[in-house]
Amino acid sequence: MTKKVVDTDALLALNPEYAVALMRGERWALEHALRCKSLNDGEPEGFRRPFDGNPRKWCGGACPFKEGCVTCTLPEDAEMTRFNRQPENPEGFARQGIIIISGSVDEEMGVRIRKLLTIAEETGNTDTLEFRIESDGGQTRVGLEIYDYIRGARVRRRVGVVLNYARSMAAVILQACDHREASPHAKILIHHTRYKDVTLKTLKDRSQIEKMLFFAEPNERQIEKIMMKRTKRSAHEIELACDKEADMTAQEALTFGLIDAIRS
């Protein structure tokens, strides 16, 4: 999954004049929107400029304009800016005690996280590991395995940081951290266990349905137990939140107990 560089939803919400200009078809706004889309689609990196140590007001992480975006009123998040402007080097980050958890939660991610944790432990850092999360989630089983990897890390303190979004199993993985933070405009979502790409033929096969329930129900209970422990919410409250299947803002996630602080 391509890393989302520009938080367009937050940009529109905090810049009503920009939203109006887009509706009117004003040239500057259309050009800005196209460049933001290009960044989010992973197109030419030429739109970015190297981080020079002087953060500017970028659109939720990275502005495509050479001198910084004069129309953007979003507050600068220096840590997110530094993260977005650096070339991805997960192993290098791991040696600094930073584990990058991005993309789909799948077998490949599970292998990658194990490798990064090994690299981090080899540096001899036994104090703090920071887990930077940006994922829409994925496989339940793998997500629970990664949760266990983090809990089993030989380190005194685990800090989880949601950069832009942590949805589904990524929100569960976040709960493995001793301290949980989110950037001001981050989104966090929890929902019930699901099976992706279930065909009509499978739905008509009672034995297949029973098999799915056999594996899904224990996972649902385990996730529920994790959420109850970390949020201090009841099973009923967790169920209601999962029923909504809607993004929580950072403030809503803080109130619910999914995070401990909003990173300023």
Domains and CATH numbers, the chain: 8-85 (no CATH), 90-262 (3.90.226.10)
Largest Cα–Cα distance in the chain? Answer: 61
Cβ-contact 249, 187 below 8 angstroms: yes
Q: How far is CA 23 from CA 7, 40, 94, 100, 121, in A?
A: 18, 21, 44, 37, 51
The DSSP output letter for 88 is P
The DSSP output letter for 83 is H
Helix (H) or strand (E) holding 179: strand 179-182
Per-residue model confidence as pLDDT tens for the chain (264 residues):
445 666 677 667 666 676 777 777 777 677 777 777 766 776 644 344 444 444 444 454 445 455 555 444 444 455 554 444 444 578 888 998 999 998 889 999 999 999 999 999 998 878 999 999 989 898 899 999 999 999 999 999 999 999 788 999 999 999 999 999 998 888 999 988 766 666 667 667 777 667 666 666 787 889 999 999 999 999 999 999 999 989 999 999 999 999 999 987
pLDDT reported for residue 57: 46
pLDDT digits (tens, 9 = 90+) for 238-261: 999 999 989 999 999 999 999 999
Compute the distance between CA of residue 59 and CA of residue 74 in angstroms, rounded to an integer.
6
pLDDT digits (tens, 9 = 90+) for 182-215: 988 889 999 887 666 666 676 677 776 676 666 6
The one-letter amino acid code at 29 reads: A
With 0-12 / 13-18 / 19 or more C-beta atoms within 10 angstroms meaning exposed / middle / buried, residue 140 is: buried
Q: Please write down the HEC assignment for all residues of 194-262.
A: CCCCCCHHHHHCHHHHHHHHHHHHHHHHHHHHHHHHHHCCCHHHHHHHHHHCCCEEHHHHHHHCCCCEE
Compute the distance between CA of residue 190 and CA of residue 248 in angstroms, rounded to an integer.
9
Q: Where are the alpha helices (DSSP H) in the chain?
A: 8-14, 16-24, 27-40, 78-85, 90-95, 107-122, 140-151, 169-174, 200-204, 206-231, 235-244, 250-256
Compute the distance between CA of residue 240 and CA of residue 46 in angstroms, rounded to an integer.
45
According to DSSP, the β-strands at 128-135 and 98-102 are: parallel
